[in-house]
Amino acid sequence: MSSATESPVPRTYRVRTYGCQMNVHDSERLSGLLEDAGYTAAADGGDADVVVLNTCAVRENADNRLYGNLGHLRPVKDARPGMQIAVGGCLAQKDRGEIVRRAPWVDVVFGTHNVGSLPALLERARHNAEAQVEIVESLEVFPSTLPAKRDSAYSGWVSISVGCNNTCTFCIVPSLRGSEKDRRPGEILAEVQALVDQGVLEVTLLGQNVNAYGVEFRDRGAFADLLRATGRIEGLERVRFTSPHPREFTDDVIAAMAETPVVCHQLHMPLQSGSDDVLRRMRRGYRQERYLGIIDRVRAAMPDAAITTDIIVGFPGETEADFQQTLDVVRQARFASAFTFQYSKRPGTPAAEMADQLPKDVVQERYLRLTALQDEISWSENRAQIGRRVELLVAAGEGSKDAATGRLSGRARDGRLVHFRAEAAEGIRPGDVVETVVTDAKPHFLVADGALLSHRRTRAGDASAAGTRPTTPGVSLGMPRIGVPDPLPALTGGC
């Protein structure tokens, strides 16, 4: 017989994530909040007492996907008394009470600005036996001051800003994430230091418009300073950032990338279109000449840089001549890879109301021409890597051993995916570091079938093997800007 004082079994949770890197990081915060509140992660393949859907409003048919998933969850909930369903993220911010109207079995709806309210909303919904909808209009607490349970033992996202001050006509993000809010440099560096103390080797600095960082405290050089300061944290081996905007991209950032050894020579620079006319209608704030000038200066400072991009095909009013200009820029820029999208209307954006919406078949045909060209360039750029010595951070998921080929996978410092032969090397774990030589190339990855030149076991690899993930408590130190004497130098890499 159970003891009357026996602790109750913790409720379990599962978070499902859709959309961008910001949503991935928000989901890490949601997991951290739930675990702080006493929940435990549900076992793989098992049912959960709480299912959280962290939604995206940017992708096409995002609402259909949400309601389809909610429909699948309804019979699961009917069969599990006490189960709760929560919906958060950008689509929740946009649709608000509509979600509960269309799916009355949902227990909680929360927006992008009140991630930290989830545990309390779940408890209130259970106590009151009715749905709780809470959508905050603006950010009250910077979300990275919340705890996070990280997905990776060796790599971590660190938010430096949220929101966006741009007004791109195809984008709904500013209305859902709000205007840009910058985190203080000392708080960012403290979080990076906490991750490194747990064995993390690589961090990605994250923001909707990451190189505009500092606008809130009026320091145009803040992002370059932050890159240099992050690079001084002992034990950190790789720094990446995403995503910058060409309008605010400045030469001091290029210099910081080139001069800071741990900052990876990888740059994701969204193009969206190569036509000045289309860029004007998109309200992107730059033109073809400025964009290509940035690419030239990056390559002059870092000849080995891998540059990737985003491109939208079929924006309203795009002519064949406009599209040819996009192809011309792709040929000149020679991107390592590109995320290519067919334009589709997003309700609530100015572009959705523009005249000259293109027929689907025209957009599709242009899209196929663009992807064929980019695949050809990617393959050519990858073939140029054959014979190159690469340092790889062994990846989880991607790093699972392929029984047929005997290969593991890892990411080179420039972000390229490399499948490498690992038969002769015992005990390689995600988070370890290996060196090898590229022997073959495909359009979307490299192959290294020779012997490993080195294998370095890491604390991150130990954590991966043990199945543990780093967790970070909320960090809110209120430190001053970079360059001002800091009361906690050990947490800020000497700043």
- 168 labelled ligand-binding: yes
DSSP codes of every residue in 3-61: -TTPPPPPPEEEEEE-SSHHHHHHHHHHHHHHHHTT-EEPPTTS--SEEEEEE-SSSTT
CA triple 456-460-466, angle to 5 deg? 110
Of all helices (H) and strands (E), which one includes residue 294?
helix 288-301
CB 121 within 8 A of CB 163: no
Contact 444, 335 (CB under 8 A): no
Rounded CA gap, 337 and 330, in Å? Answer: 10
| Angle at CA of residue 357, ends 351 and 363, nearest 5° | 110
Exposed / middle / buried, residue 477 (Cβ in 10 Å: 0-12, 13-18, 19+): middle
- On whether 20 is known to bind a ligand per the annotation, the reply is yes
Neighbours of 158 (CB within 10 A): 26
Cβ atoms of 486 and 193 within 8 Å: the answer is no
Sign of CA dihedral 211, 203, 391, 393: negative
Q: Find out whether the peptide bond into 152 is cis, omega within 30 degrees of 0.
A: no
- As a whole number of angstroms, the distance between CA 93 and CA 117 comes to 14
Q: Among candidates 442, 307, 452, which has minimal Cα distance to 386? A: 442
Place of tokens 């791109």: 168
Residue 495, annotated as binding a ligand: no
Q: Which residues are annotated as a binding site for [4Fe-4S] cluster?
A: 20, 56, 90, 164, 168, 171
Q: Which residues are annotated as a binding site?
A: 20, 56, 90, 164, 168, 171
